[in-house]
Chains A and B, each alone.
Chain A
Amino acid sequence: MGLLETKSLYSGYGKLKVLFDINLEAREKEITVIVGPNGAGKTTLLNTIAGVATVHRGKILYDGKNIVGLPTHKIAKMGIAYVPQTGNVFSELTVRENLRIAGYTLEKSEVMERISEVLGMFPVLEKFSERKAGTLSGGERRMLAIAMGLMRRPRVLMLDEITTDLAPILVKRVLEKVVELRDNLGLTIILVEQMAKRALEIGDRAYLLVSGTIRFEGGCRELLEHPELAKLYLGIS
């Protein structure tokens, strides 16, 4: 049984229907990769789990407990962290304040420790720590968002296109970090990626989302080597 599962989930924004009959299973200590074309509903799926989209029907089970209808901040406190694709930093706050607030649910001593830890991972942020996040470049902002996601040690970490805007060397480093979080800390990770090939190479299970429905589910290797789907949707030949 997965640590996080959705059961016949239908969701969207208000009355707008985006996702249809989604049955997802994110197993403990695995990287679950979600791929699919633009507008397929990948972000909406993560938003739904985090409690910021509207559930029309179905269940979301976390550790066997239905979390549908819980407010976002309660879901966060249960151990589900989320790095959204957009609007993922507070532009009016400094880099340091952003990190501090990302550790809102932690003890003060722990916050300080984690801040130096994540700054160690992205030295650029250290340099800009007193600058407002709104003045950062696209890539720097993305690094800050990732750093904010890593501040807490959640049980489930949902990452939405975190490699966008990053230089190739950083993409590599960030994805290595994701693997490390799974292997060393046993985090359960849901990874939405535009770089489908790279993500599928490090992931365990994969879902292909097309027009709000699941078109494929299975092992990452299986999807990578799929004769039609890989070519059709992932640009892998």
Chain B
Amino acid sequence: MIEPSLVYKALAYSSNIALMAAGITMIYMSTETFNFAHASKVSWGMYFVYTFYNFFGGHPYIYVPVAAILTGLIGVAMYLTFNRYLLKRGAGMITLMMSTLGADLILLALLNILADYLSRVHKLYSRQIRMEIYDFTVAGIPFSTLIALIIVVTLTASIHLFLTKTKFGIAMRATIENPNLAGILGINPELVYLTSWFIGGALAGLGGALLVFIMAGYPVIGQYLIVTMFAGSIVGGLYSIYGSLLGGFLVGLSEYLGIWWLSTLFGGKMLAYRQVIPLVAMVVALLFFPQGLGGIKWGKVAKVVRGERS
């Protein structure tokens, strides 16, 4: 039998992956940059919570928003230091992507420095951080699950409102579709790109910061999770924030539950194949929905489900 605690963790894990996948999509949609540095931003999100908690105390959950803002600023720094110039020079997708790989290595190195500093100077066990003990339950449900689900749902709703009801949100959609015309109408496309990098980075950090309450963290955890995040974003169709949230959630869920199921069948050695699941999920999803989940005409699906169309 599957244990409730496992289900809760699976839900929390997949919600966090959904946030990270949405961040990848956000940055890709606006700047066509596949951001590999998302990996280290997730790890940084975890370590921000860990570090601030050890330095300033209080409850670790209060540092989750701080972590999100700081990783958002890392995104801004990436845009301002190199992505902006590459975009101006009309760099191709490969160049844009490789530049983020470089940034990822730098961010990882800095994180290792932080971890070393914490362990040598402050005698913290910083190479493997464990904060699951700080999680608590609300009405029998772990807070880590509750908050992750709440954030995903609110985010979906608020992104929708932001993109369709606010002037800047509409300007963002306009710029993503046609930056030249947006400029002609007086919109500064750079402001739109900067905002996307901030939101994208913040989503990575938010996912990481929440993940620290359900699993052990280490400096390369982001690199370990990046396959799943990318699979989520790709399954989502790459051009839809909603698609990426759904894709990330489904890929995360199938990975978490799939590996549990496989290891009950074949034993613990199956854990080594964990990352295969998101890749298989990606291939299967794209076979059925080549445009990704974001490309599905959900209105039509609803009609078919209700039996209004044959």
Contact = CB atoms under 8 A, between A and B. Distances in A.
Contacts of B187: 73, 101, 104
The winner among B164, B174, B182, B188 for most chain A CB atoms within 10 A is B174
A216 interface: no
Contact of A87 (B167, B180, B186, B189): B180
Given A93-B174, A100-B167, A101-B171, A71 B188 contact: yes
A76 B177 contact: no
A92 B169 CA distance: 13
Interface string B160-193: 0000100100110110011011111111110000
The winner among A50, A97, A105, A108 for most chain B CB atoms within 10 A is A97
B170 A76 contact: no
A36 interface: no
A77 B188 CA distance: 10
Contact of B184 (A52, A91, A97, A108): A52
Contacts of B186: 73, 76-77, 104-105, 152
B146 to A, nearest CB: 35
A90 B178 contact: yes
A102 B188 CA distance: 13
Q: Is the interface of B mostly helix, strand, loop or mixed?
A: helix
A84 interface: yes
Given A52-B183, A52-B184, A73 B178 contact: no
A148 interface: yes
A43 interface: no
A148 to B, nearest CB: 7
Interface string A65-94: 000000111001100011010011111110
A12 interface: no
The winner among B178, B180, B181 for most chain A CB atoms within 10 A is B181
A49 to B, nearest CB: 11
A108 B167 CA distance: 9
A105 B168 CA distance: 11
A72 B184 contact: yes
A60 to B, nearest CB: 15
A212 interface: no
Contact of B185 (A76, A87, A92, A108): A76
A97 B181 CA distance: 14
B173 A92 contact: yes
A72 B183 CA distance: 5
Given A73-B183, A104-B171, A90 B188 contact: no
B157 to A, nearest CB: 19
A100 B170 contact: yes
B181 A87 contact: yes
Contacts of A97: 164, 170, 173-174
Interface string A83-126: 01001111111000100111011001000000000000000000
Contacts of B170: 93, 97, 100-101
A203 interface: no
A51 interface: yes
A97 B168 CA distance: 11
Contacts of A91: 177
Contacts of B177: 90-93
B174 A90 contact: yes
The winner among B171, B178, B186 for most chain A CB atoms within 10 A is B186
A159 to B, nearest CB: 13
Given A87-B178, A92-B177, A76 B171 contact: no
Contacts of A82: 184
Interface in A152-183: 152
Given A90-B177, A91-B177, A51 B171 contact: no
A105 B184 CA distance: 11
B247 to A, nearest CB: 20
A112 to B, nearest CB: 12
B178 A76 contact: no
Contact of A71 (B164, B181, B183): B183
Contact of B167 (A50, A72, A104): A104
A82 B183 CA distance: 10
Nearest to A47: B180
Nearest to B181: A87
30 contacts: A52-B180, A52-B183, A71-B183, A72-B184, A73-B182, A73-B183, A73-B185, A73-B187, A76-B183, A76-B185, A77-B186, A84-B181, A87-B178, A87-B180, A88-B181, A90-B174, A91-B177, A92-B177, A93-B173, A93-B174, A93-B177, A97-B164, A97-B170, A100-B170, A101-B167, A101-B171, A101-B187, A104-B167, A104-B185, A105-B186
- Top 6 nearest A-B pairs (CB, nearest first) are A72-B183, A76-B186, A105-B186, A73-B188, A73-B183, A90-B174
Given A104-B187, A108-B167, A148-B185, 8 more contacts: A50-B184, A71-B183, A76-B184, A76-B185, A84-B181, A90-B174, A100-B170, A104-B167
